[in-house]
Structure 1
Amino acid sequence: MKIAIIGTRGIPNHYGGFEQFAEYLAKGLVERGHEITVYNSHSHPYQQPEWNGVKLVHCHDPEDKWGTAGQFIYDLNCIRHCRTQAYDIILQLGYTSSTVWGWLLPRKNCIITTNMDGLEWKRTKYSKPVRAFLKKAEYLGTVFSDYWISDSLGIQDYLSKEYNISSTYIPYGAFPFESPDPEMLAQYELTASGFNMLIARLEPENNVDTILEGVSKAATKLPFLVVGKHATHYGEYLKDKYKAFGNIRFVGGIYDINALNNLRYYSNLYFHGHSVGGTNPSLLEAMASQTLICAHKNEFNSTILEGDALYFSNSDEVKKVIDTAEKKMYLPYVSNNLDKIKNIYEWNNIIDQYENHFKHIYSTKS
């Protein structure tokens, strides 16, 4: 099949979850014999026309000059290019800035399937007008698509109740990490099990402030790594708020998956504060990295982790976990989560499910 993937800033990943997903999925589908094209921002660091057999199309992306508005133009440019091609299937990742152009998708000539992402309109970082727009964009994602994918059972249930549509449940994936390298800790001046950490975009709904407040209250003063781009308004706010706590280290974004896996593996506690959306890729990667997870208590996280994690709802609970919990006390949790990755969420299983989804919807093409 000839399949295009739109809705990301491009591959290889230099940004976030959807980009990491597109990287693994595209490469896996090429290895299975399909012709895959991924749309990249013109400013993506990787400028070659092909990556590991995946065709890349670079479209103009004025986000660096126009901010958020530039994302809409970039998505428009990607869709306009799609109209000039003969794809069998277009996989659209998310709806935030693309579904307003849904009426331009070449639906007469190919099949559109959309990964509906999380409940973006619930994100507290957005103003009420923006959240209203995102709710409308979500609706448009149900109108201008032929099929839908949910990355969590919670999202699948929501789409069924809210829009009366039947979506295919396919979660994200991860590769088991079982080859740790303790030498890489030296560059961060860390020791095995001698630090705690989080990895997230620094946004309110990821509960970074709640976690750091708990860190600041805790009697235990192990180094605490905050991994995520912090050159933002909210990132500056957090850095200023916690500048008096020398154990809190804002290290910026890290996109080397091996470095991330090693940091998670050797951490004492890994905090996952995401509270909006479906299955977050970083959660599955944490499980695959054999780290002890303390997650924000919500249905999206608990559906995946079940009883194999510690949970928090406020900063006092974060403080308690930091002061009382050690990884060696919860090794069955770590082992059980790794087994879930191997048996359910391993990337090859997920790619197989996507390929089966594509084969099914392609068989309906007249």
Structure 2
Amino acid sequence: MVGTRGVPARYGGFETAVEEVGRRLADRGHEVVVYCRTVPGGAEPPPAEHQGMRLVHLPAARLRALETLSHTALSVRHLVTHRTDAAIVFNAANSPLLPALRAARIPVATHVDGLEWKRAKWGPTGRRYYRVAEALAVRWSDVLIADAQGIADYYRDAFAAPTTLLTYGAPLIEPGADRLAELGLQPRGYHLVVARFEPENHVDVIVEGYAASAATRPLVVVGSAPYADAYTRRVHALADCRVRFLGGVWDQELLDQLYANCCTYLHGHSVGGTNPSLLRAIGAGAAVTAFDVDFNREVLADAGRFFRTPADVARELAAVEADPDGVARAGERARERAAGYDWGEVAVGYEELARHLAARRYPRRRPSGRRRPASADATTPPVPGVPGAAVVLAPAVVPAPAVVPAPAVVPAPAVVPAPAPTPAVEDLPVGRR
């Protein structure tokens, strides 16, 4: 698995997927290799193994625009000299490096992530790069992976490109509340935001709406951003004395308790597809008020409330604080939604995809990568009823002996699947519609 920061997962959705899927594939007897970024100034040598996955640590340029691509370039160079049966590359931004894998005849699936070119942190050049990278991923990947129906629809409409739909999982957790006292908090006594401070995550909208509200419970904000000083200053300037900024919380037990015991979880992410923070929140039974985009409606359906403006946030907070019984019911509905997002099923989907890649059972003709003008900047309308379990999985195959895959490009576990029954091309998990 190539293109991520690697494991143990401490950062984002890709790393969580690599860890959750990779360890399950290792448990099923596959050799999984994950490419990880070297931590600058680390006092101890990096681990060579994690939960059954073999780790390859390589450096990256410490510049936002080059960090991902520089690390992936080194990973690909290593990978092509250490053969693997299949490679999974995370992030369409790495697509300029796919020809090297194809030249080495390594079958590759690219997890395209969300609509990166919509992120405000990128300037015009960065946005153009991401749009070109999407087209290159379509042209040079053997299979595309989407983690949300809205992303799959976007690639279908923009490029006439089929995708394999593999969501993230939502762990069902009941972590207790004993550690809230460390932060001076009580169960149901606070509202919660967990997000990187980036404009498309709308932390500023949430904080502004909260400050304009008459909410009696404090707003606890978890998160920061290494490259967004101006935006961070704006968020802090909008806050009043009821807002508590905790910075990054890397203690997973404490973070889970914050999710599970909040009055409501305010989720502002808007462009990244299925979001792991949202899934973890509903798995903890949090009542959710989310930014109104199709990705969030796909996850929550009728189990959530939605906002777009600061005024919406203020109105929703008033409604939530006035109806504690409704908050409890919303949390129960959220856990019911979370049950449809199962990491075990997701791992089966990745295993079957790897088998098909290793057997070279995928369409040899790829879409051209030319963007359809009519859909250049649009995604499809919301799809509110789609459960996370609606994953396009290949037919189940009895686990075969472990196969040794070489490290893949983005920190995604390179899986060496064992021989499986030869499927027909029609059975491919490419999710054509």
TM over 0.5: yes
Q: Does 1:284 align with 2:296?
A: no
State whether residues 121 and 131 of structure 1, in contact with CA within 8 Å, keep that contact through their aligned partners in structure 2: yes
Q: How does 1:1-366 map to 2 (within 5 A)?
A: 5-43=1-39, 47-63=46-62, 66-96=63-93, 98-178=94-174, 180-231=175-226, 232-242=228-238, 245-326=240-321, 327-342=324-339, 344-364=340-360
One-letter code of the match for 2:16? Q
Where 1:166 maps in the other structure, the secondary structure is coil
Deviations 1:298-330 (A, max 9, x none): 111111111111111110110011122145313
Distance 2:244 2:179 in 1: 17
Where 1:306 maps in the other structure, the secondary structure is helix
Where 1:20 maps in the other structure, the secondary structure is helix
Deviations 1:106-130 (A, max 9, x none): 4543210011111111112221221
One-letter code of the match for 1:82? L
Where 1:181 maps in the other structure, the secondary structure is coil
State whether residues 159 and 165 of structure 1, in contact with CA within 8 Å, keep that contact through their aligned partners in structure 2: yes
Distance 1:288 1:156 in 2: 24
One-letter code of the match for 2:57? H
Distance 2:58 2:346 in 1: 28
Q: Structure 1 stretch 312-321 or stretch 70-79: which is displaced more?
A: 70-79
Identity %: 31
Report the RMSD for the aligned CA atoms in angstroms.
1.8
Distance of aligned partners of 1:220 and 1:365 in 2 relative to their CA distance in 1, 3 Å threshold:
closer
One-letter code of the match for 2:37? S
TM-score normalised according to structure 2 size: 0.78
Aligned to 2:384: none
Higher relative contact order (CA 8 A, sep 6+): 2
State whether residues 61 and 70 of structure 2, in contact with CA within 8 Å, keep that contact through their aligned partners in structure 1: yes
Deviations 1:272-313 (A, max 9, x none): 111112111111111101000000111111111111111111
State whether residues 264 and 327 of structure 2, in contact with CA within 8 Å, keep that contact through their aligned partners in structure 1: no
Distance 1:161 1:87 in 2: 33
Distance 1:30 1:194 in 2: 41
Structure 2 unaligned blocks of 5 or more: 363-433
Distance of aligned partners of 1:12 and 1:47 in 2 relative to their CA distance in 1, 3 Å threshold:
same
Distance 1:135 1:191 in 2: 45
Where 2:330 maps in the other structure, the secondary structure is helix
Please report how far the alpha carbon of residue 214 of structure 1 lies from its aligned counterpart in structure 2 after TM superposition: 0.5
Distance 1:197 1:47 in 2: 34
One-letter code of the match for 2:51? N
Please report how far the alpha carbon of residue 230 of structure 1 lies from its aligned counterpart in structure 2 after TM superposition: 4.3
Distance 2:252 2:350 in 1: 23
Where 2:189 maps in the other structure, the secondary structure is coil
Please report how far the alpha carbon of residue 261 of structure 1 lies from its aligned counterpart in structure 2 after TM superposition: 1.4
